[in-house]
Amino acid sequence: MATDIETTGSSAPYGPDNPAPVIEPPRARTSRTPKTTRTNFELYGWLFMRLSGIVLVVLVIGHLLIQLVLDGGVSKIGFAFVAGRWASPFWQTWDLIMLWLGMLHGANGLRTIINDYAERDSTRLWLKALLYTATVFTILLGTLVIFTFDPNIR
């Protein structure tokens, strides 16, 4: 069984004369920092990550099984294949839900990482503004492509 000296690497066990090191919080509270938030946004973000993750697993695994196993594999996927799929509102909706959930799920995860690791308020502001802009742009462009796809293009 390991002793305190072996696991901590110090020459003596922690005690009144040898206190344990203090770990500082990532960002200390200031007088401007509210003690509590007024909304449950982080709770809803956390819940969204869990629920969207479950739905995405079902959508992506279903998509892969149908596209790769039941429809003959990657060799059959081409422009005509996609045009045939997107002629159906079912597949447009399936791909649209995957696009929206995937982008929002990823953006929420990156927002959490930015909040955790960007120390300065201005850095956090610009990183999140860039993230939100890229997310909105990708969702709008992807939605536009799905709904305006023309299979007769040459």
Helix, strand, coil percentages for the chain (3-state, nearest 5): 65, 0, 35
Mean pLDDT of 12-24: 82
Higher-pLDDT residue of 111 and 82 is 111
Residue 91: per-residue pLDDT: 92
CATH architecture of the domain 39-148 equals Up-down Bundle (1.20)
**Torsion (CA) 118, 120, 122, 124 in degrees, nearest 10:** 20
Residue 119 CA: distances (Å) to CA of 28, 75, 129, 140: 10, 48, 16, 31
> Residue 10: which pLDDT band, with cuts at 50, 70 and 90?
low
Residue 18: per-residue pLDDT: 83
**Whether pLDDT at 24 is above 90:** no
Mean pLDDT of 32-41: 74
Of 19-28, 51-60, 62-71, 85-94, highest mean pLDDT? 51-60
Residue 3: per-residue pLDDT: 53
Residue 49: per-residue pLDDT: 96
Mean pLDDT of 132-148: 97
- From the list 107, 128, 129, the residue with the least C-alpha distance to 48 is 107
**Whether pLDDT at 43 is above 70:** yes
